[in-house]
């Protein structure tokens, strides 16, 4: 099981706004492109997105289905990645002072990923998660409203430089 976390310099509502926006999925999920709704109203339980998954020189169609949602705190997804099988991806969005702690927990469910699941695969998933959570933080933090400031922006200018 691969679990990773990321502190995001925005409140949980800002994080949830990105997670619940189907059009932003490929902005933060590593390896996906061409995302489009495939059913339901994202992120309601049972709704899904279709996209292209790129793995090295190969591309194939993928689909992610919402399996559990407790707005604005929990989003659990099942990713169908063609020959790689399926995976459970759980995002836990927690207030952390004026910021948000996002905990990402992923493990293979079916197919090749589940059969080959081992510490090496978990290490690869951890690398992907580092990138994915970094991208999520960037998307959320760059999508602030005009005139809105981060808690870090309130520090004196000398403290922000370092």
Q: b or e along 58-95 (b: 16 or more beta carbons within 10 Å of the residue's beta carbon)?
A: eeeebbbbbeebeebeebbbbbbbbebbbbbbbbbbee
| Cis amide leading into 43 (omega within 30) | yes
Say what the pLDDT of residue 158 is: 43
| % residues pLDDT > 90 (the chain) | 41
Q: Tens digit of pLDDT for each residue in 101-155?
A: 999 998 777 776 555 655 666 666 666 667 788 889 999 999 865 445 444 444 3
Domains of the chain: 2-144 (3.30.530.20)
């Amino acid at each position: 099981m691969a679990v990773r976390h990321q502190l995001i310099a925005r409140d949980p509502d800002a994080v949830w706004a990105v997670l619940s926006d189907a059009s932003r999925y490929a902005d933060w999920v590593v390896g996906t492109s061409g995302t489009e709704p495939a059913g339901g109203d994202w992120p309601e339980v049972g709704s899904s997105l279709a996209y292209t998954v790129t793995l090295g020189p190969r591309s194939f169609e993928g689909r992610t289905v919402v399996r559990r949602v407790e707005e604005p705190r929990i989003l659990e997804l099942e990713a169908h990645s063609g020959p790689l099988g399926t995976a459970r991806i759980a995002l836990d969005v927690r207030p952390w002072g004026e910021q948000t702690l996002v905990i990402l927990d992923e493990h293979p469910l079916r197919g090749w990923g589940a059969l080959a699941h081992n510490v090496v695969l978990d290490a690869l998933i951890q690398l992907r998660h580092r990138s994915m959570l970094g991208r999520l933080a960037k998307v959320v933090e760059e999508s602030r409203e005009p005139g809105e400031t981060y808690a870090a922006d309130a520090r004196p200018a000398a403290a922000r430089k370092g």
